[in-house]
Amino acid sequence: MTEEQCDYVFKFIIIGNGNCGKSSLLYHYIHGAQICNIKQTLGVEFSAKIVQVNKKKIKMQLWDTAGQERYRALTKGYYRGALGALIVFDITNSESFEALQEWIKHARDFSKPSIQIIVIGNKADLDKERTISEQTAKLFCQENDVQYIETSAATGYQVNDAFIQITTRILNLLQEGTIDGNIIKPKFLTSKKSDQTQITQQCNC
């Protein structure tokens, strides 16, 4: 399936403290599917996956960092235009949980206040070493009006569900008219000619 056959293109960013499993989750999600993954000079890993949700074909543009999150040094360009954010913490690492508030604020301040957020409690396979209970995390997420799911990039537990859950939510909001449709189609879909080169440089899939 080519990009032109898609109904929508959604940009997603994946953020959270270093070492929580962001890149591992992304790898697990896209592995074996139609993917492209190119290291860019800006230090952003750019991947893509086309999915079908509620009879709509959606190209998910998935942006991962190359480690800059350790210094909170993500650029505004990383956040710009994102419709969804997957914010990851490690259920065995309290510091990564405590950082969530700041990551949520960054997502809302630097993307759009309406950005849809799913918090992912990763490393669910390490339940014996857990320092953050599921209940604590759920409560925090309710208070901050974000979704919550637990995953394991090691076993694959609920990895797909996390990505599909946030995509479905965005699609529903779009169909209800709650999200501005103008920001859904990236520039390169509406003016293909001038921007074709840019796509080729970013992604060969």
Ligand X SMILES: Nc1nc2c(ncn2[C@@H]2O[C@H](COP(=O)(O)OP(=O)(O)O)[C@@H](O)[C@H]2O)c(=O)[nH]1
Which chain residues interact with ligand X by CB under 6 A? 18-24, 122-123, 125-126, 152-154
Give the nearer residue to Mg ion in terms of CB position, either 47 or 167. 47
Task: Give least dist CB 93 to ligand X, A.
Answer: 10
| Angle subtended at Cα 174 by Cα 10 and Cα 31, rounded to the nearest 5 degrees | 30
Cβ 10 to ligand X, closest distance in Å?
A: 21
CB of 49 to ligand X, least distance (A): 17
Task: Collect all residues with Cβ–Cβ distance below 8 Å to 190 and sequence separation of at least 6.
Answer: none
Where do runs of H (alpha helix) occur along the chain? 22-30, 76-79, 94-98, 100-110, 134-143, 159-176, 187-190, 192-202
- For the bound state, the minimum distance from the C-beta of residue 23 to ligand X, rounded and expressed in Å, comes to 3
Residue 125 interaction partner, one of Mg ion, ligand X, none, beta carbon < 5-8 Å per kind: ligand X
Shortest-Cβ-distance residue relative to Mg ion: 23
Nearer residue to ligand X within complex by CB, 154 or 173: 154
Distances in Å between the Cα of 79 and the Cα atoms of 93, 113, 172, 204 are 25, 12, 22, 22
Nearest CB to Mg ion, comparing residues 67 and 181: 67
- Give the residue nearest to ligand X (CB): 21
* CA 142/CA 175 separation, integer angstroms: 24
Contacting residues for 143 by C-beta, under 8 A, at least 6 apart: none
156 binds, among Mg ion, ligand X, none (CB under 5 to 8 A by kind): none
Residues in contact with Mg ion by the rule CB under 5 A: 22-23
Smaller CB separation from Mg ion, 23 or 111 = 23
